[in-house]
């Protein structure tokens, strides 16, 4: 497997989203269901980088699910400012990843 900047971006996105989801699950707010979806999608995104999964379960699917979960969490706005900052960072990284995987954003050195 060749290590590219796209894989590093996906790994960093998965780690930041996993950190954000774990801090939300441990919190006392009512967003635990969405946070569990975020943790699961981030973990599966991290696994799909290194392990080949069947066709419907690809990095693209997990990053789109993670994108929806991050948007819902940001709209619900549970947690402190620090957690909201981590959510925004994860959302920006994941947006770049989704756009690159769908082919709508072409950054030459990223692919």
Please give the full DSSP string across the chain, using - where no structure is assigned.
----HHHHHHHHHHHHHHHHHHHHHHSSSS-HHHHHHHHHHHHHHHHHHHS---TTS-HHHHHHHHHHHHHHHHHHT-S-HHHHHHHHHHHHHHHHHHHHHHTSS--TTT-
Is 108 domain-assigned? no
Is 93 domain-assigned? yes
Is 109 domain-assigned? no
Comparison of pLDDT for 89 and 32, the residue scoring more? 89
Is 18 domain-assigned? yes
Is the per-residue pLDDT at 3 higher than 80?
A: no
Is 107 domain-assigned? no
Is 95 domain-assigned? yes
C-alpha 5/C-alpha 42 separation (Å) is 18
Is 110 domain-assigned? no
Taking the model in full, what pTM does it have?
Answer: 0.86
Number of domains into which the chain is organized? 1
Residue numbers of the domain that contains 23: 5-102
Confidence band, pLDDT 50/70/90 cuts, at residue 110: low
Is 88 domain-assigned? yes
């Amino acid at each position: 497997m060749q290590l590219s900047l796209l894989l590093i971006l996906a790994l960093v996105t998965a780690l930041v989203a996993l950190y954000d989801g774990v801090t939300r699950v441990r919190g006392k707010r009512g967003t635990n269901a969405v946070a569990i979806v975020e943790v699961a999608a981030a973990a599966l995104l991290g696994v799909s980088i290194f392990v080949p999964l069947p066709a419907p379960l690809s990095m693209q699917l997990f990053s789109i699910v993670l994108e929806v979960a991050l948007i819902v969490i940001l709209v619900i706005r549970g947690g402190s400012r620090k957690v909201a900052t981590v959510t925004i960072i994860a959302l920006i990284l994941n947006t770049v990843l989704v756009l690159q995987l769908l082919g709508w954003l072409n950054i030459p050195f990223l692919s």
